[in-house]
Structures are given as C-alpha cells and as structure tokens.
Amino acid sequence: MAVKEQLLLRILKQALPYLRRHRGQVMVVKLGGEIAANTEALRSLAEDISLLSHVGIRCVVVHGGGPQATELSRRLGMVPTLVQGRRVTDDQTLDVAKMVFAGKINVDITSALRTQGVQAVGMSGVAADILHAARRAPTEITDEVTGEKSMVDFGHVGDITSVNTGVLSLLMENGYVPVLSSLGSDGDGNILNINADTVSAAVAADLQAGKLIILTSVAGVLADKQDPDSLVSLLTVGQVNEALSTGAIAGGMRPKLAALARAVATGVGRGHILSGLQHGSLLLELFTRAGAGTLIVREDDQAAHRAPSTLPFGARTPMTEDAAREVAAPEAGAPEVAPPPGQGETAP
C-alpha cells in the first residue's frame, strides 16, 4: 500500500473511537462574529458542522456578532463601547443588535449550513422563551490596565435568569440544527442583549451537553496574548478561575473562559476554545489526539489527572502543553481500539 494511503487509513482509524464516543451527544458550537463575516471560514465551518450532524452528533449553533455590530454602529455615526468584552447597549445600539444578531448574521449562518445540506433553523433567544433575562443593574468594574474602579451602566444588557431549551431539543430530535442569536427578553417585553459566550454556556448547561465549543479568531487561550505560539492546550476549571483572577485574560476572552468554567462545573462534559478561522480546526479538535485549541476539563477528569498537576499560567511547563494534551487524549472512557503500528504509548 502506498505511504499516502497508509496515512489516510491511519487518520480515519484514529477518528473511530471519537466517532463512537461523540455519536448521539449534544454539542453546542458558538462562533464569533469575525467567523460569520468571513465567507470562506463560514463555508468551511458549515462543512464541519454538516459532517458532525451526519455522523449523529446533535448540534446547536450559537453566534455573536461583535465586529458587525461595531461596524453598523459606526456607519450610523455611533461610538461603540465595550467593557471587559461586553457591549454597552443604549437604545440605538439595541436596534443595531436586533438588526445584526437576529438579522444578517443569523440568516448568513443558516444559509451557509443549508448550502452544506444541514436543515438549519434560525431563531433568537426571544423565541419560545429560550432566554429569559433581567436587565443588569449598574455594575462596579475594575479597569484591566489602570486598576481604577468605576460604575458602568451596560444599558439593555441582560443577565440570564432562566433558560428553556425545550424547542431546541424538539428541533434536534427531528434532525434540525437550531441557530441561535444571543438576544433574550424579560417578562415585560423588553429585549436584552446578552453576551453570546454566556448564552452558549447557559444553553449547553441546560441541555447537559457533551461539549461546549467556542470558536473565535485566535487559536485558543494564549499564555501571552501577543504571542500566537503561546497556546495553552489544557486547563482545569480551577486553573481557569485562577487565570481570570490574575488579569492574564483580557477583553473578549474573559466572558469565554468564565462561561466555559461555569458550564463544565455544572455538568457539561468538556469545554473547548479554538480558532474558527483556521480551516478544519473543529474536526481536528474533535477527531484527533493532538487537538487544535484549548481544552477545559473538571479537576476530576481523567485528562486533568494525566496532565502536569500545576500549569502556571503564563509560564511554560517542562512538558509542552501540546505534549500534555497528547498524553491526556483521548477522552476519559473512550473505547479502546488497536493503535496504529508504531504508536503504542499514547494511542487510545
């Protein structure tokens, strides 16, 4: 057999235990606005999601739309304000959020999925009481750089008070893939803008999803956010909470990590952050040993036991994080298969 064919076979066989493990699971996939705005990235991601749903994984797509909301606000002569990755939403910005999140982006994603043979159904969290929220009271915020404290009124920004995923389950059971934008409402007809990372975590927790996968514009959590090569490939919930308290995590990465830590602590199997701009990263993350981004696990997860017990944030460990991840995978309890020749030690 030619070398190329052997390699192809090996890759396919490496995917087998993951295929068996993931089948029938619910996965919540959140994508950031930058991915939805990039036609090529969106097409590639829609192919990946199509593959997942065709192998029996039940997917819910949740999306943000930060860059598009910022762009439309600017076009309308407004000055967008973000505090720690969350958008200050006045009356006009709420209109922009409705137009962009529940409008353009939602339709674009639904259409990209439809093109790849996925029966996608677009909706916002206002539908069927999916996201019930309360307006956030003015909050004291500590500036990431100066350490200065100030009161911030986020406007029409909601904190989720309850989640009703009934309609999402109904759709998934019937072969549809829900595409959810991050607007919710309170009981009095007020529409509220909710951070899409936070929404994805609440939805994943309510569905007790096997995975919450957050796709963004960077490779994953970076120990040094200026250095794209400083990817941290495995973190426990405890390490995430520690990292959040040190200030190593800034801007839009904060709500992501907070959301993932909460989701994993409340019953979601595992959390992932990876690039949605890199071709095929979702499939690599789910179906190969090395993975592609940052994996977030509970401390009692088998992967956490096998990883170095302390992973100082911002410093390299003697074992590279990628190596740790290699040892950690595949997921705890993955079915055993014979390893391909020459790969005995770390094989499933």
Ligand X SMILES: Nc1ncnc2c1ncn2[C@@H]1O[C@H](COP(=O)(O)OP(=O)(O)OP(=O)(O)O)[C@@H](O)[C@H]1O
Short-list 213, 217, 218, CA closest to 228:
218
80 binds ligand X (CB under 6 A): no
Shortest Cβ contact with Mg ion: which residue?
Answer: 252
Q: Which is nearer to ligand X, 222 or 260 (CB)?
A: 222
Q: Are strands 270-275 and 211-216 parallel, antiparallel or unpaired?
A: parallel
* Total residues interacting with ligand X, rule: CB under 6 A: 20
Contact 259, 197 (CB under 8 A): yes
252 binds Mg ion (CB under 5 A): yes
228 binds ligand X (CB under 6 A): no
3 state SS for 284-330: HHHHCCCCCCEEEECCCCHHHHHCCCCCCCCCCCCCCHHHHHHHHCC
Question: Smallest distance, Å, CB 231 to ligand X?
Answer: 9
Q: Which is nearer to ligand X, 8 or 250 (CB)?
A: 250
Q: Classify the C-alpha dihedral 224-226-231-236 as positive or negative.
A: positive
Q: Give the interface segment with Mg ion, choosing from 46-54, 109-117, 245-253, 284-292 (CB under 5 A).
A: 245-253
179 binds ligand X (CB under 6 A): no
Q: Which is nearer to Mg ion, 252 or 293 (CB)?
A: 252
Contact 203, 62 (CB under 8 A): yes
Contacting ligand X within 84-143 (CB under 6 A)? 85
76 binds ligand X (CB under 6 A): no
Question: Smallest distance, Å, CB 2 to ligand X?
Answer: 40
28 binds ligand X (CB under 6 A): no
Contact 229, 220 (CB under 8 A): no
269 binds ligand X (CB under 6 A): no
Q: Which is nearer to ligand X, 226 or 310 (CB)?
A: 226
Q: Which is nearer to Mg ion, 57 or 203 (CB)?
A: 203
Residues 6+ apart with CB under 8 A from 123: 106, 130, 167, 178, 179, 180, 181
User: What three-state secondary structure class fits 335?
Assistant: coil
Q: Give the interface segment with ligand X, choosing from 21-29, 215-223, 296-304, 336-344 (CB under 6 A).
A: 215-223
| Structure-block tokens of residue 138 | 């003015």
How far is the C-alpha of 48 from the C-alpha of 31, rounded, in Å? 13
How far is the C-alpha of 77 from the C-alpha of 91, rounded, in Å? 14
Q: Give the interface segment with ligand X, choosing from 88-96, 212-220, 262-270, 327-335 (CB under 6 A).
A: 212-220
The binding site for ligand X (CB under 6 A) comprises 32-33, 64-66, 85, 196-197, 216-218, 221-222, 225, 248-253
